[in-house]
A = this chain, B = another copy of it.
Amino acid sequence: MEKKTPDNKRKTVLTTSRNSRKKRSTSYDVSRMAGVSQSAVSRCFKPGGSVSAKTRAKVEAAAKKLGYQPNAIARGLITRRSNIVAVIITELTNLNYPEVLSQLNKILGQKGIHILLFTFGSKENIDNVLDQVWQYQVDGIIAATQFTDKQIKACFERGTPLVFYNSVYADSSINSVCCDHEEGERQLVESLLKDKRKSFVVMSGPKESAVSTARTRGAINTLNEGDVSVLQLSGDYSYQSARELIREMFENKTFEPDAIVCANDTMAIGCIDALRHEYNMKVPEQVAVVGFDGVSQARWASYEVTTVVQPVEHMVEAAVNMLIERIENPESPAEKRLFAGKLIAGRSALLN
């Protein structure tokens, strides 16, 4: 009631809520209290703005008293820089992503950039996500998911810088940071070949995942160079899918592997559990199992998965730097950065 309501027609729900919401103070409020112009206030909050020490002192005192913070939304409207980046990421249940996301937040935060987060299951439509992204005028996009050509083109047309994380496209005008999945897998498989393994199962992740495809390709190509038998199975990156594939294989009794190459650590863990706990087999003596990613769970004593660790910190930092470079200088040439993974010999496979 103590509020001034000059306009007593304000009665809609929206207005009610607007009124009862405390009004935040603006640069005008500060300028009035400090006895300076509104422009002066604005300059005080702009790094490198030219203001005298005296003016700055007055403004800072007033701002503090009023609890003033510049409105980043209004600023973004006029500067066309929101300092917000969209992070689009599938499968948050993928054990690798929390680390990626956490690292992204850390590095972007250091640069004063914020994350508008979009995650989604396979069901949802990336087009919808992109619509949201345009509306929020983000400065750029980091995408850890697969886009269609059309979606990529839309980003170009709108001039929104785009960097893919672990998702590669042949088109050289597309920016990406990627782990060398194919080469990493080759190293794993070569070690298994040296260890005289003869019957291989290669267990892929989801069909639509380019990462899984690259890993599988690395495995198959390397195996084709050796004199071994190979069975390809297709899962979905999950622990459950790996267990089920093992179960099916043994029930059909069609194949007796002595090595299993999994598309990620989670599936490797699923295989190890199925082999040991359902079929009473020795890992790695009877069957060697290898994964990929280097998630923390892979190091747990019950598994100690032999795997390739992605250099997540370096990759994320590279992605962020690439994106910022392209936000600040849209003419930067496109670039693909490929990082080597590091093979870690655990106890799920005998490697010398």
A residues whose Cβ falls under 8 Å from a Cβ of B: 13-14, 17-18, 20-22, 24, 67, 69-74, 76-77, 79-80, 82, 84, 87, 92-93, 97-99, 101-102, 105-106, 109, 114-121, 131-132, 134-137, 157-159, 239, 243, 269, 272-274, 276-278, 296-297, 300-303, 327-331
Contacts of A239 in B (CB 8 A): 296, 300
- Decide: B76 and A73 in contact? CB cutoff 8 A: yes
Q: Select one of B22, B157, B159 contacting A157, CB under 8 A.
A: B22
Interface of A is mostly: helix
Asked if B98 and A93 make an inter-chain contact with CB atoms under 8 angstroms apart, the answer reads yes
Residue pairs across A and B with Cβ atoms less than 8 A apart, 15 shown, are: A17-B330, A20-B159, A24-B134, A67-B158, A69-B135, A73-B137, A92-B101, A93-B296, A101-B117, A105-B120, A106-B119, A114-B116, A114-B117, A239-B296, A277-B301
The smallest C-beta distance from A128 to any residue of chain B, in angstroms, reads 9
How many protomers of this protein does the assembly include?
2
Interface-central residue, A18, A73, A106, A331, by most chain B CB under 10 Å = A73
> How far apart are A42's CB and chain B's nearest CB, in angstroms?
14
Q: Are A22 and B303 in contact (CB under 8 A)?
A: no
Question: In the bound complex, what is the Cα–Cα distance between A296 and B135 (angstroms)?
Answer: 36
* A137 partner residues in chain B, CB cutoff 8 A: 24, 71-73
Distance of A146 from chain B, by nearest CB (Å)? 18
Q: A71-B137, A77-B77 are in contact. Are A118 and B93 (CB under 8 A)?
A: no
Q: Are B135 and A70 in contact (CB under 8 A)?
A: yes
B21, A159: Cβ atoms under 8 Å?
yes
Q: How far is the CA of A116 from the CA of B300 in the complex (A)?
A: 33
A97 to B137, CA, bound (A): 28
Question: Given A92-B98, A93-B98, A300-B239, does the pair A158, B22 have CB atoms closer than 8 Å?
Answer: yes
What B residues does A158 contact at CB under 8 A? 22, 24, 67
Query: Could you tell me the distance in whole angstroms from the C-beta of A14 to the nearest C-beta in chain B?
Result: 8
- With both beta carbons as reference points, the residue of chain B lying nearest to A139 in the complex is identified as B21
A299 to chain B, nearest CB (A): 9
